[in-house]
Amino acid sequence: MITGLLLVGWLVLSVYLLRYVYLDERYTPELGYPAAAQTVAEQARPGDVLITDLWTENLTGPAVALVNYCRGGCPPRLDLTRENLTDREQDWQARHQADLAGYDRAWLVLERVAEGDANSIVERWLGDIGYGAGCAWRGPQVRLCRYDLTAGTPVAPEAQQARFGEGIELTDVEVRLRGQHAAAGYLLPGDTVQAALAWRANRPPDADIVLSLQLLRGDGQLAAGLDHRPGNGFRPVSGWQPGERITDRLALALPPDAPAGNYTLNLLLYDAQTGERLTVHTADGAAGDALTLARVPVREAQP
């Protein structure tokens, strides 16, 4: 009798999972769920957490699809339901920030949510408490983002203030190194550089301006880069109000095969339509098309 009930339960569960992963057209493989799951499973490490951004408690398809496509290879999962966060939980940020205690990095899976969408409150929150390492579409329906949740060791930046173009002021810079040897002042391949930037608008341009944070090798080649709209992707420059303060918190990971050398962390802004860089004016009167934030020594990993 008990065996029969267990068998029936297993069949019901299997039909439920098959419905979401193989029969429901919203979660078919080509939409991006397998690609997102594969990326997380391949790149996740101990201390990571996987966050799914669900619209309602009844729409559990994204979480179920990921569980199936991960095949046990994904990190622990935290499901955040938009319906609860917006209507029921008054202090959800503080409560769920406590849920993230002890995790080093977060992977965020978004369904049908483009960069800068005002409804993407989980993405905005993670950008405020962590360091965004970039987002990418894994299919037409799924966008995957990663965040550093643990701050690294601070280093003195080479520049604290600058003016980009005629009306965008960089008012504060914080640079951190995150890795096993960060306290000694250097990184290994795979380690991370974090940057927190504060902006003030005096006379922002009408153009669509993109922020680019770049980590360059000693030979000038790009080792890692991250481009997006300022305000962690949520505040286009054209909408800034005079005197308003905008912040960005970003993370760049060195490639696993990064060669040893002295790397340069550069910051620039450019016009999304023309690609033209805004001129950077520094406190000493110099002008250029990029601002150096820090020098980053990288050493070879010891076997």
The CATH class for the domain spanning 153-298 reads mainly beta
Task: Note the pLDDT tens digit of each residue in 243-275.
Answer: 889 999 999 999 999 999 999 999 999 999 999
Predicted local confidence at residue 167, as pLDDT = 85
Query: pLDDT tens-digit profile of 161-176?
Result: 999 988 899 999 999 9
pLDDT at 6: 56
> Residue 301 to residues 45, 46, 152, 248, 294: CA-CA distances in angstroms?
18, 19, 19, 30, 21
pTM of the model: 0.87
Per-residue pLDDT, averaged over 58-72, amounts to 75
Backbone angles phi, psi at 250, to 5 degrees: -130, 155
* Cross-strand partners of 52: 79, 109
Pick from 21, 82, 22: which is nearest to 52 by CA?
82
Task: Check if the beta carbon of residue 296 is closer than 8 Å to that of residue 187.
Answer: yes
User: Mean pLDDT in the chain?
Assistant: 87
Residue 103 has a CB neighbour count (10 Å cut-off) of 20
The predicted structure's pLDDT at residue 181: 95
pLDDT(81) > 80: yes
In the chain, where the domains are located? 26-148, 153-298
> Distance (Å, rounded) from C-alpha 244 to C-alpha 256?
39
